Homo-oligomer: A and B are copies of this chain.
């Protein structure tokens, strides 16, 4: 693997890593339906505001979401809608796993 390829996979991994957390997946899913401010997300998630803020900054830092300040609130929304394709695939891995479990039980 040459340097260039290495760099490419590192760049990709940064983005995937940013999504690799239940709370952040939830945020992405939520923002795919509607923009939300930090307080709204915090309420839904049930963690400390600072924790949620940090999750948001991780997603923002890799360009998955975008923020817009309105008064004293900060609204976040999805920047790249295709991120939702992720879910489709992840879901199909889960389904495939479940199906296999079933098969094993039937035997």
Interface residues of A (CB under 8 A from B): 1, 5-6, 9-13, 15-17, 19-26, 29, 44-46, 62-64, 79-80, 82-83, 85-94, 96-97, 100
Contact = CB atoms under 8 A, between A and B. Distances in A.
Copies of this chain, complex-wide, total 2
A63 B1 contact: no
A17 B15 contact: no
Nearest to A63: B97
A89 B100 CA distance: 27
Contact of A26 (B9, B11, B24): B9
A19 B82 CA distance: 18
Contacts of A1: 26, 44-46
Nearest to A24: B13
B13 A21 contact: yes
A24 to B, nearest CB: 8
